[in-house]
Homo-oligomer: A and B are copies of this chain.
Amino acid sequence: MSPNTTLRRGRPGYDQQGILEVAVAAFNEYGYDATSMGVLADRLKLSKSAIYHHFSSKDEILDRALDQALGSLEGVLDETEAAAGSAADRLDRVLRGAVRVLVDQLPYVTLLLRVRGNTEVERRALARRRAFDKRVTALVAEAQTEGSLRSDIDVRIVERLLFGMINSIVEWYRPGGREDAARLADDVVAVALDGLRVPAGAPRP
């Protein structure tokens, strides 16, 4: 869309994705409940009716934002399932992909991780998170069965610890720092799959 078209439509500066971005930042800053459509309109310097042109309700904004994070995470699993390789290698790809989504869509994933199930939209998002966790858990089980992952830990605990570690990255990661997504993904895989400890008797660095 050219700037000119935007102007003719009378909402200069913000398309739907632009509104979404500002709304997600506000939800993360003040909390979803505390962010009214009036607060959003102030932040966007738009009238409430201009926002309603794009979204029928605050709930729909939340729904769209959560769908973006969940869709990206589910996309990682879909791609991985289509790929060849051992289950451990596919799990490696899932962990890297999840870190990439988290870094690329930090505010959206942050919002997703704060959802507690207070509304229908939130409950649907939690159900999709559980379905995602189940698919990852099945992949861990497959890797244990094929003998590429140690099998003395409950698969659900493995999945929770792995994603506990990955999700915690939203607490401290700031874009533009020294770690880019690829480096951070290497670090996560190094800790989780390969382990930090240098085996006794290995050559000292």
Contact = CB atoms under 8 A, between A and B. Distances in A.
Interface stretch (A5-13, A60-68, A103-111, A167-175): A167-175
A199 to B, nearest CB: 9
Contacts of A157: 179, 184, 187
B168 A188 contact: no
A126 interface: no
A184 to B, nearest CB: 7
A196 B164 contact: no
Interface in A165-205: 165, 167-169, 171-172, 178-179, 184, 187-188, 190-198, 204-205
A48 B81 CA distance: 59
**Closest A-B pairs by Cβ, 4 of them:** A195-B195, A164-B168, A165-B165, A147-B204
Given A165-B168, A191-B195, 11 more contacts: A88-B198, A147-B205, A150-B197, A150-B198, A152-B190, A157-B179, A158-B191, A160-B172, A164-B165, A191-B191, A195-B197
